[in-house]
Amino acid sequence: MKIMNSNLGYPRIGAEREWKKALEAYWEGRINLNVLHAEMKRIRLSNLKMQQNSGIDLIPVSDFTYYDHMLDMAQMFDIVPSRFRTAGKEEEIYFAMARGTEEAVACEMTKWFNTNYHYIVPELSDTVPTLVRNRPLEAYREAKTELGIEGKPVIVGPYTFVKLSKHYGNRSFADWVRQFVPLYARILQELEAEGVRWVQLDEPCLVMDIPAEDMELITDVYEQLHQAAPQLHLLLQTYFEGIEHYEQVVSLPVQGIGLDFVHGYETNRANLTRWSFPQDKWLFAGIIDGRNVWAADQEQKCNLLSELLQYVTSSRLSIQPSCSLLHVPVRVSQEETLDPVIKESLAFAEEKLSEVVQLGEILQKGGQIAPLEARRQLAKSPLRNRADVQQDMAQLLSREPMRSTPFVKRAVLQQEYFGFQLLPTTTIGSFPQSSEVRQARRDWRQGKLTEEAYRTFIRRKIEEWIGIQEQLQLDVFVHGEFERTDMVEFFGEKLDGIAFTQNGWVQSYGSRCVKPPLIYGDVAFVKLMTVEEVAFANTLTDKPVKGMLTGPVTILNWSFVRDDIPREQVCYQIAAALRREVTALEEAGIDVIQVDEPALREGLPLKRKRWTAYLDWAVRSFLLTTSHVKDTTQIHTHMCYSEFHDMIDAISQLDADVISIETSRSHGELIQAFEDRIYDKGIGLGVYDIHSPRIPTVTEMAHMIERALRVLSPRQLWVNPDCGLKTRSKEEVVAALESMVEAACLVRGRFLKHESLVEERSE
């Protein structure tokens, strides 16, 4: 009997990013809605056809989306905030929720577990959810009609959907979950009536530290769903870690359990050893890494499968990736410039599906295991065994890195040095990457523009935006980062041990796609990376100009990382390289240096018991990069779209003089983290959402600042956008920053007036 295989989800973007291009063409008015629908259908069917041709038995349907799968779920259940109800037709409301409008702030966007994918957070208020359309059924019918595929509808499960949503009003979490059960039941009943065999209910929250009492709720929910559609095969799918409450989860009335044996290997293997596996269920074993790009070691994977066959028969085993392939690029064969040894060591989405099928054939027929000669060559390569890097690391880690002077004393010295006014204003780093900028970079890379001509172009853009910042009267300037592509790619291209793909794109949020670096060897500093442009900008103004670096933890977490040594060792190598750039910036007269760590929180393990170890080496890596500077050199860092309340202590340990955070999409709720904990260092508030074309009013931004002043001292508060401005137009940026500076001036004036009145009364 053939061993079954399955897939959990597939990249939406297309091999040539056709998905992104169609979306942006629609938003810009270059194509109409009918053309968009047609192009999306073509991409969707092409993805399904590829999986069909690969030999995948259970092909996921309804995993495709026009923006985000959680947003799809919210709209399917009519979870539309009242501020969007008048935004127009269905598609207009959908994109308004994701991107905002002139009148309404977009829904919050945050990380999907500990990945670099962002999802739109549903807002559960007093609205009663209702099923307005059965999207999984529509997707199943399309796949069957167009391609003859008996698809496996994929749905975010009720527990995870509610857990990842924002809750307003007086209803409890359990009440909210129960509100959705009849709607899920109806979806499943309609799928059962259609003849669907398997339905994948994604419940990744079951790998989190969920309270024991939630298992009673989950059991009740799944008993109701089973009773609603008793003939349907329900696959309870988990990923990213090993599941908690294993014994209760595998006893749920479902026909299949999906477990991650890559990132959750330790926990799930221990659970199997202790509790075994129910003989009346299918085990969907995620053994191919869905989050990294290195080719699987077939011998190792076959050994793992043999181990699993001690707990489940081959007739009830399904081989699959560890999670959706959303998190990896589409196709290795498109890469023409990579070193052959590196290229042959890779597996993207298409290749991972081939690995799934091949492993099933080897296990079933006893076929020959293919040796990974390329990976063996890479392991022995001098690029992975650099004595100079190892010696440098040993020396740097011989003592704990830390600033020589405590912050409370540094702050006094820095204020004397800079003389900043109350509520100083700045931006996060980047300014608009216009079509002109992108074209100049392409021409330079293709040899159509000389090195000198390109440098002259970049300098003209820097001069233009230094002038704009002078007019805006910002307090700390940036050079604009016009020479940079992605914030990680730019640095990765200048360090040894890191390679880049031509088409290794993955979705980050909405239509935003990135090409994560491939960290394949020992990382080492080669030459100066940022000093020339920042130092030039510094000559154009008397205001401080920030040096801008991406931090070591973010470079690590936003890369595909070698899997032969611990991640923290790779992070220390990156930190050591960046440390040399920080030194060079300081020597060039740059007195404010921002080391961005937006990915610090997303690297947190999903289980709290592992947090301390991660945060220890993450903080140490940041301090390796920054702690050696002078007391008067002000270190900034930036973090966006993170929940900070549970890691304020670790953020404080970074010992950055100023941290800028996002507070716009979360409607100021992150400020609660500082209401509950004392934070004594500088804080930059992201007072408006740069991901939306909407420009907030002066009043809105002033309100955000004033709310922060309820719990923070104006002596520690900075005012800035919530992220870099590269994706916005020049007109949008100037208008928004004008309002931001005016809001800061308004609040500053109110505070100084109030302070003056208090002084008069005390006299």
Give the catalytic positions in this structure.
691
Q: Is 571 annotated as a binding residue?
A: no
Nearest to 475 by CA among 718, 743, 279: 718
Nearest to 196 by CA among 238, 154, 224: 154
Q: Is 728 annotated as a binding residue?
A: no
Q: Is 60 left (phi over 0), alpha (psi -120 to 50) or beta?
A: beta
Q: Is 19 annotated as a binding residue?
A: yes
Residues 6+ apart with CB under 8 A from 262: 286, 287, 288, 289, 290, 291, 322
Q: Is 513 annotated as a binding residue?
A: yes
Could you give the C-alpha distances from 755 to 611, 620, 745, in angstroms and in order? Answer: 42, 40, 15
End-to-end CA distance of the chain: 92
Q: From the centroid of its chain, how far is CA 301? A: 28
Task: Output the CA torsion 66→67→68→73 (10° steps).
Answer: -50
Could you give the C-alpha distances from 582 to 43, 404, 542, 600, in angstroms and in order? Answer: 44, 16, 21, 19
DSSP letter for 434, please: -
The position carrying tokens 């920042």 is 534
Q: Output the 3-class SS for 276-324.
A: CCCCCCEEEEEEECCCCCECCCHHHHHHHHHHHCCCCCHHHEEEEECCC
Buried b / exposed e over 324-335, threshold 16 CB at 10 Å, is: bbbbbbbbbeeb
Q: How far apart are CA 723 and CA 354, in angstroms?
A: 39
Q: Is 505 annotated as a binding residue?
A: no
Q: Is 640 annotated as a binding residue?
A: yes
Reading the block at residue 198, the tokens are: 């398997």
Q: How far apart are CA 445 and CA 688, in angstroms?
A: 34
φ, ψ of residue 438 to 5 degrees: the values are -65, -40
Q: Is 596 annotated as a binding residue?
A: yes
Q: Is 89 annotated as a binding residue?
A: no
The position carrying tokens 């300037």 is 477
Q: Where would I find the H helices in 486-631? A: 489-492, 531-538, 552-557, 567-587, 611-626
Residue 614 amino acid letter: Y
Q: Is 662 annotated as a binding residue?
A: yes
Q: Is 429 annotated as a binding residue?
A: yes
Helix (H, G, I), strand (E, B) or coil at 163: helix
φ, ψ of residue 593 to 5 degrees: the values are -130, 120
Reading the block at residue 84, the tokens are: 């969007």
Q: Is 551 annotated as a binding residue?
A: no
Q: Is 444 annotated as a binding residue?
A: no
Give the bridge partners for 235, in sequence order: 200, 256
Q: How far apart are CA 684 and CA 670, in angstroms?
A: 12
DSSP helix, strand, coil percent of the chain (3-state; round to 5): 45, 15, 40
Could you give the C-alpha distances from 64 to 13, 133, 486, in angstroms and in order? Answer: 9, 16, 25
Helix (H, G, I), strand (E, B) or coil at 477: strand
Could you give the C-alpha distances from 311 to 256, 260, 267, 414, 662, in angstroms and in order? Answer: 14, 15, 15, 63, 47
φ, ψ of residue 2 to 5 degrees: the values are -65, 135
Q: How far apart are CA 313 and CA 550, in angstroms?
A: 49
The position carrying tokens 């208090």 is 758
118 by Cβ neighbours in 10 Å (0-12 / 13-18 / 19+) ranks as buried
Q: Is 20 annotated as a binding residue?
A: yes
- Binding residue numbers: 17-20, 111, 116, 428-430, 481, 512-513, 558, 596, 602, 638, 640, 662, 723
- Binding residue numbers for L-methionine: 428-430, 481, 596
- Binding residue numbers for L-homocysteine: 428-430, 481, 596
- Binding residue numbers for 5-methyltetrahydropteroyltri-L-glutamate: 17-20, 111, 116, 512-513, 558, 602
